[in-house]
Structure 1
Amino acid sequence: MDTSSPARIILVPGFWLGAWAWDEVAALLRAQGDDVVALTLPGLETDHGSPGDVSLEDQVAAIEAAIRGGDGPVVLVAHSGAAIPATVAIDRNVDRVAASVWVDTAPVVDGAAMDASFEGDALPLETQWDDEMEQGSMRDLTQAQLDEFRSRAVPEPAGAVRDAARLSDDRRLDVPATIVCTAYSAADYRSYAKEGASFLAGVLEHRALTMVDLPTGHWPMWSKPIELAAIIDVAARAARR
């Protein structure tokens, strides 16, 4: 990568979120000289009226368009459930992705789906709120942040929940990847992967993987934005060398 130009970083939010979720992290990265694009994936626009019409492929296409929409390789950052479309986008654009960062998530394997049996048009945050609170994923968030999250969350399109990843280029396994371990430690991540946790299967097959502990809840872009931005910036700078 050309070290004279800023890193091009694409931020992909997880379920229920739009580009707004990255506002603070994006500002911190831009202050470091990075070129940053935060995405709102299809079906997660505040005025989207037909989430049942949105497929995983639609979300993959949006990430691909961002990858191909500028000069030079990119650093692709994916949070939570965005791991599935992000992995597919990397698989199709290996030569354009210099590095990846996975925020309390991991690259997935071929055939992975969040919930293949999911029924309905969309998954609202409200149906998951109590479970998220009980599991501690909201750790370190202020009441103001919780209120904003709840008020701005958009139901996740069923296609993003139900559709499976289709992968074909094993070179994706050599793209340098950093997992930011928040709700669970790096040791826990590896342990759960070895125990057969399906969503962490990619941890076992990836050949260029680094894990970084950032103890907090599942939403570090709000609870630990300075620390998260620093981790992303380090990955971006390494990719430029």
Structure 2
Amino acid sequence: MMSTPQRSVLPLIVLVPGHWLGAWAWDEVLAHLRTAGLRAVALTLPGLDDQDPRRSSRTLEEQAAAIQAVVESVPEGVVLVGHSGANAPVSLVLDRTPELIRRVVWVDSGPVAPGNVFAPDLAESVEELPLPSFDALGERASLEGLSTDDLDRFRARAVPEPGPVLRAAVQLTNDARLRVPTTLVCCSIPGPRVLELAQVGDPMFAEVARLEHVEVIDLPTGHWPMWSRSTDLAEAIREAALST
């Protein structure tokens, strides 16, 4: 039986990057948090390590298990920070061990609904999804605030997302996940608009309307604030962690 997190001790902040990204994506944020005296780690999920010979066959279950292993190793509890497409494995961990998560921070993202599949039409023959051209990517997610150096680093270090991860349905059964205190850091879509979309049942944000304890922080920029506004994002995460 898992113990209740020790609230008198500051939690470990666990930073989980979105699609195509590894722990490196959080370097600037991680440095700010550690300078502020907080404990924080960044993860590279299974399938996003370019040295893994089985990389393209890694699954969503393996990604969730990797996060859960870190969560379960910290008796005082964690603040779980998920960016973009990390919302699928992070949602699974919230469902499985809500009592160990003192707060979840969604960075230009949000919890997924039961049964959600990121790419339901992706053919089984597609082993992996490389980072698209920036023209194509910019049609789906804002690149606002990213410098040429940011884009060059993104292109050079991005790792294709495994097909099995993108085709997997997120199975959620534990409504206790909805009671975990939540912070939405809204970047490419303003907070009030996110809440409006949640209330009308927009598939991307419908699950937000079911959350019991939600704080909304607006951080106007593009979809990758860990590069475009790293200091401000770190401060938002720091405040969220200290509020647990």
Sort the TM-score into its range (normalised by shorter chain).
over 0.9
CA RMSD across the alignment: 1.5
Which of 173, 176, 184 is the aligned partner of 1:171?
A: 176
User: What's the counterpart of residue 11 of structure 1?
Assistant: 15
Q: Taking structure 1 as the reference length, what is the TM-score of the superposition? A: 0.94
User: What's the counterpart of residue 41 of structure 2?
Assistant: 37
Contact 2:7 2:76 survives alignment (8 Å): no
Q: 1:151 to 1:129 in 2, by over 3 A?
A: same
Give 1:133 deviation, angstroms.
2.5
Contact 1:112 1:199 survives alignment (8 Å): no
Which of 178, 187, 191 is the aligned partner of 2:192?
A: 187
User: What's the counterpart of residue 58 of structure 1?
Assistant: 62
Give 1:135 deviation, angstroms.
5.0
User: Counterpart of 1:132 in structure 2: which amino acid?
Assistant: L
User: What's the counterpart of residue 204 of structure 2?
Assistant: 199
User: Counterpart of 1:170 in structure 2: which amino acid?
Assistant: D
User: Counterpart of 1:124 in structure 2: which amino acid?
Assistant: P
Instruction: After superposition, give the CA deviation of every residue in 1:91-148 in whole Å (9 maximum; x if it has no partner).
Output: 101110000000000011111121122121111103x532222456111111001100
Which of 218, 223, 231 is the aligned partner of 2:223?
A: 218
SS at match of 2:216: strand
Q: 1:41 to 1:136 in 2, by over 3 A?
A: closer
Name the CA distance, whole Å, in 1 between partners of 2:166 and 2:112. 14
User: What's the counterpart of residue 28 of structure 1?
Assistant: 32
Contact 1:51 1:158 survives alignment (8 Å): no
More deviation, 84-93/200-209: 200-209
User: Counterpart of 2:130 in structure 1: which amino acid?
Assistant: P
Higher helix residue share:
1
User: Counterpart of 2:80 in structure 1: which amino acid?
Assistant: L
User: Counterpart of 2:75 in structure 1: which amino acid?
Assistant: D
Name the CA distance, whole Å, in 1 between partners of 2:60 and 2:121. 15
Q: 1:195 to 1:77 in 2, by over 3 A?
A: same
Show the 5 A alignment for 1:103-182: 103-119=107-123, 120-126=126-132, 129-135=134-140, 137-182=142-187
Q: Taking structure 2 as the reference length, what is the TM-score of the superposition? A: 0.93
More deviation, 177-186/195-204: 195-204
User: What's the counterpart of residue 98 of structure 1?
Assistant: 102
Contact 2:9 2:76 survives alignment (8 Å): no
Give 1:2 deviation, angstroms.
4.5
Give 1:164 deviation, angstroms.
1.1
Q: 1:136 to 1:37 in 2, by over 3 A?
A: closer
Q: 1:73 to 1:17 in 2, by over 3 A?
A: same
Instruction: After superposition, give the CA deviation of every residue in 1:18-44 in whole Å (9 maximum; x if it has no partner).
Output: 000001101111111111110000010
User: Counterpart of 1:72 in structure 2: which amino acid?
Assistant: E
User: Counterpart of 1:226 in structure 2: which amino acid?
Assistant: T
Name the CA distance, whole Å, in 2 between partners of 1:86 and 1:76. 8
Gaps of 5+ in 2: none
SS at match of 1:102: strand
Instruction: State whether structure 2 residue 90 is matched by structure 1 residue 86.
Output: yes
SS at match of 1:10: strand
User: Counterpart of 1:180 in structure 2: which amino acid?
Assistant: V
Give 1:4 deviation, angstroms.
5.2
The number of equivalent residue pairs is: 238
SS at match of 2:215: strand
Name the CA distance, whole Å, in 1 between partners of 2:33 and 2:18. 19
Residue identity over aligned pairs, in percent, reads 42
SS at match of 2:205: helix
Name the CA distance, whole Å, in 2 between partners of 1:15 and 1:166. 19
Q: Structure 1 runs of 4+ off > 6 angstroms?
A: none
